[in-house]
Amino acid sequence: MPRYCLFGDTVNTASRMESTGLPYRIHASRSTVEALLGLDEGYEVAVRGQTELKGKGIQETYWLVGKAGFPRPLPAPLPIKPGDPWRDLINQEIKAAFARARQGAAGPSSSEEAPAQP
């Protein structure tokens, strides 16, 4: 069961925003930014610039980059641009993260002895 549903033109807009976005970025339309800033809760946005959205024309779009008072660090976006082969970069990053997780979960190898307890 989905947690949310999109209907009508919202589906097309969401699809176009996703397909023109970048990894580790939250791509937002002008109406979304206006709604977020209207909440006056400290959302921080940066202008991405003019973006061609198929069937919608060229529109000013934005990146949601943070929120005032949010204590956790956000992952740094990869240094890629539209048209770059970012999927390869993401796959490499995911594989490296899994390798690090496996190393951490494995603990000391069986050839190593645990230190003697006093």
Task: List, by residue number, the catalytic residues.
Answer: 16, 54
How far from the centroid of its chain's Cα atoms is residue 85's Cα?
Answer: 16
Which position has the token pair 């930014």? Answer: 33
Per-residue b/e over 74-102, b at no fewer than 16 CB within 10 Å? eeeeeeeeeeeeeeeeeeeeeeeeeeeee
Distance CA 118, CA 99 (A): 34
Tokens of residue 73, six digits: 């660090």
Q: CA angle, corner 46, sides to 41 and 51, nearest 5?
A: 125
